[in-house]
Structure 1
Amino acid sequence: MDLQLAGKTAVVTGGSKGIGLALVRVLLAEGMRVVTGSRTITAELKETEAVPVAVDLSTSHGPAELIGKAALVLGGIDLLVNNVGVGDTDDFAKGARLNLLELPDDAWEHTFDLHFYSALRASRAALPYLIERRGTIVNVSSVGARAASAGPADYNVSKAALGALTKLISEQFGGQGVRAITVSPGPVGTGVWTDPDGFVGRLAKARGLPQDVLTEQLIKESGVTTGLLTAPEEVARLIAFLASPVNITGSEHLIDGGMIKHV
């Protein structure tokens, strides 16, 4: 299937690993030119033909810095994917462990800087280029936005805000040809779930369980109908489809193995 992306340009935040790295590979395979920004440039990212930019997207200046460099390299931007997220696993675990009275302001601020404000700032910087090319923004959220009481509270609330940002961009700039879409994965087979030092790995050690046993238990408790982790490549393929010329905007697309069951 030709997605009609060949020759177009993309900026992907958080492209050094996980969903971001899978997306970089998929977009390159579709013939796009890609710039990606992250704090760390991994060996796996260096093996691709993407142009990496070392940048801290949780800072007030980082997203605009990335977009500025990308525009110079690419000559314009057709697609922005706001994917960067999770960050330090200790912060992620803190949001899951502490309740609203216990979780301090700085935890909320860090989480929103990484998951919401990075997307807001990158979108704001990229919009002039996207308007010029009638481009697309895809915001990578989470099913946690629909289940704010389950898992890291600050993370889930920040992702809910990200979904609202999608709606706002779609409404305000749709008349100028810009589409904005939310993709919300459920549990994905990234380092958060698979690395021994990731969130689930640390939780397994704390509970004295093998990591694969806890993974299976958590997936079952989450209500994932298929009983499977979603592969990063599956999320990447969905994003690539939504970035193709289709009349879809302002909507949320779940890829969660049936976890969210309400209409």
Structure 2
Amino acid sequence: MDLQLEGRRAVVTGAGRGIGLAVARALTSEGALVMGGTRSDSPALRAATPHTVEVDLATPDGPGRLVEKAVETFGGLDILVNNVGGRTTAATGFLDLTDEDWQAGFDLNFLSAVRAVRAALPALIESRGAIVNIGSVNGRLPSPRLTEYSAAKAALANLTKTLSEEFGPRGVRVNTVSPGPVLTDVWRNPRRAARPDPDAEDGLAEVPRRMGLTTGEFIAPEEVADMVVLLASRRLPGATGADWLIDAGMLKSL
């Protein structure tokens, strides 16, 4: 299938590893030009694309600087993938969370996307481009251990719908892709395996079963990337304003 991405200009946030790196690789393999934003130097990202920016995307000006660099380098922008995110605190419940914890979580998981979209929209309106926000199954399946993260991802899905309604008539499609457990470095981290966590007692291979994944397997970053690239392409012009799940059957309700 020709995704018609040759020469299309993209920004991917949090592109140094995991899902973001997989998305950057998938886009470049289809002929797109990718500006990858990462907080620290990533040889793997530099191997995927020559266009990289070291930037803290949780800061007020970070997303804007990344988008500005892309527009300046490529002469415009067709695709924005808001991928950066993750836990910013070790809190395990609501009462453990301070105002600072909430602010840090929303800066990384929600406001980074708000700021990137604000900076990118003029160029995306001009090119009639696409935005893909990386959400999470936790946006629909809250966990007390991930309170602030779940809330931020739910807000991101709501933002997607609102943006699609406002800017769809101007040619910009906006979608969310919400993965379940993806086998990234977060799960492979030796510190995770070493800590006294009841979720680690059976080892990594048992996690999908205990989390109720119908497939019995983690999701690969490349699976998520393939969905992102399809939604970012022009092959599905009617796909907008939706939250697309790829959760290995984790959610059991409609």
TM-score range for the pair, normalised by the shorter chain length: over 0.9
Distance in 1 (alpha carbons) for counterparts of 2:149 and 2:198: 26
Find the partner of 1:206 among 191, 196, 205: 196
AA matched with 1:178: V
User: What amino acid is the match of 1:157?
Assistant: A
Residue 239 of structure 2 aligns with which residue? 248
Aligned length: 252
Secondary structure at the aligned position of 1:15 is classed as coil
Partner of 2:183: 189
1:65 matched residue in structure 2: 65
What is the TM-score with the length of structure 2 in the denominator? 0.95
2-structure distance, mates of 1:207, 1:57: 30
Q: Give per-residue Cα distances to partners, 1:132-157, cap 9 Å, x unaligned.
A: 00000000000001111354111111
Partners of 2:252 and 2:198 lie apart in 1 by 31
The residue that corresponds to 1:24 in the other structure is 24
Asked if the contact 1:15–1:38 (Cα under 8 Å) also holds between the matched residues in 2, the reply is yes
CA-to-aligned-CA distance 1:65-101 (integer Å, 9 cap, x gap):
111111001111100000001165xx2x32xx1x222
RMSD: 1.6
TM-score (norm 1): 0.91
The runs of 4+ residues in structure 1 deviating greater than 3 Å are none
Q: Distance in 2 between matches of 1:21 and 1:212?
A: 29
Paired residue secondary structure (1:152): helix
**Native 8 Å contact 2:181 2:219 kept in 1:** yes
Q: Distance in 2 between matches of 1:3 and 1:180?
A: 17
Equivalent residue number for residue 114 of structure 1: 108
- CA drift of 1:49 comes to 2.2
5+ long unaligned stretches in structure 1:
none
Q: Describe the superposition over 1:204-243 as per-residue Cα deviations: whole angstroms up to 9, x where unpaired.
A: 531488x583334432232110111100011001101111
Q: Aligned letter for 1:153?
A: T
SS in 2 for 1:21: helix
CA contact (8 A) 2:94 2:144 kept: no
Structure 2: give runs of 5+ residues left out of the alignment. none
- What secondary structure is seen at the aligned counterpart in 2 of 1:206? coil
**Distance of aligned partners of 1:44 and 1:87 in 2 relative to their CA distance in 1, 3 Å threshold:** farther
